C-alpha cells in the first residue's frame, strides 16, 4: 500500500482523540497510522466537519455517502480502494501485524514407553 486516505465522521478535532473520555480504539488507530507513515505510506486524514470538500471531491467517498449516509464513516481507502467502512481497520488489515494463528498442540502420551530392557516405562499420569 502506498496511500491511505481516512474519511472520519464529524468530530471536534482531526484525530477524534480528545476530550475527557478518549476512545482507546481511536488512540490505537492513530498509532497505527503513525506506524504506516514510518514505513513510507502517504497517509491523509479528513474530518467531515472541517474538510467537507475532501468528501465531495472524491468520487468513491461521495457515492458511498449518497448511497449509505454517514453510517459509512469512517471510510478508509487504500490506494483508492475501500479498505473498510463504518469502522476503523485493524492492524492486520493495515498490514502492520500478522493474523493470529491457531496452533494445534498434540497431547503428550499419558504413560512413558517401556525401557529397552522390557521393564515398564516411567510414571503414568
CA 62 to CA 75: how far, in whole Å? 11
The bridge status of strand 75-78 relative to strand 81-85 is antiparallel
Q: Is the pLDDT of residue 47 over 70?
A: yes
Eight-state DSSP code of residue 71 = G
Mean pLDDT of 24-34: 91
- Flag whether pLDDT at 117 surpasses 80: no
Residue 18 CB-half CA count within 13 A: 6
* Per-residue pLDDT, 105: 60
Strand partners, 3: 42
Instruction: Give the separation between CA 99 and CA 120, rounded to whole angstroms.
Output: 45
The residue that leads in pLDDT, 103 or 113, is: 103
Is pLDDT at 116 greater than 60 in this prediction?
no
**β-bridge mates for residue 75, sequence order:** 7, 85
- The answer to which of 14-23, 25-34, 76-85, 90-99 has the lowest mean pLDDT is 14-23
What mean pLDDT comes out for the span 51-70? 97
| Distance from C-alpha of 32 to C-alpha of 121, rounded to nearest angstrom | 54
**Could you say which DSSP state residue 40 is in?**
T
Average pLDDT over residues 118-123: 54
Q: What is the pTM of this model?
A: 0.74
Domain boundaries of the chain, sorted by first residue: 1-125
Candidates 3.40.190.10, 3.40.30.10, 3.40.50.12590, 3.40.50.970; CATH matching 1-125: 3.40.30.10
- Given a cut of 70, whether residue 108 has pLDDT beyond it is no
Reported confidence tier of residue 87, pLDDT bands at 50, 70, 90: very high
Contact 36, 30 (CB under 8 A): no
Separation between Cα atoms, residue 106 and residue 102, nearest integer Å: 13
Amino acid at each position: 500500500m502506498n496511500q491511505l486516505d481516512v474519511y472520519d465522521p464529524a468530530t471536534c478535532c482531526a484525530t477524534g482523540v480528545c476530550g475527557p473520555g478518549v476512545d482507546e480504539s481511536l488512540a490505537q488507530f492513530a498509532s497505527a497510522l503513525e506506524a504506516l507513515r514510518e514505513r513510507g505510506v502517504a497517509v491523509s486524514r479528513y474530518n467531515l466537519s472541517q474538510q467537507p470538500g475532501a468528501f465531495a471531491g472524491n468520487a468513491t467517498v461521495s457515492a458511498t455517502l449518497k448511497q449509505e449516509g454517514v453510517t459509512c464513516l469512517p471510510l478508509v481507502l487504500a490506494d483508492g480502494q475501500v479498505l473498510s467502512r463504518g469502522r476503523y481497520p485493524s492492524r492486520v488489515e493495515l498490514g502492520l501485524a500478522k493474523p493470529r494463528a491457531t496452533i494445534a498442540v498434540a497431547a503428550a502420551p499419558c504413560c512413558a514407553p517401556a525401557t529397552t530392557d522390557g521393564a515398564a516405562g516411567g510414571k503414568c499420569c
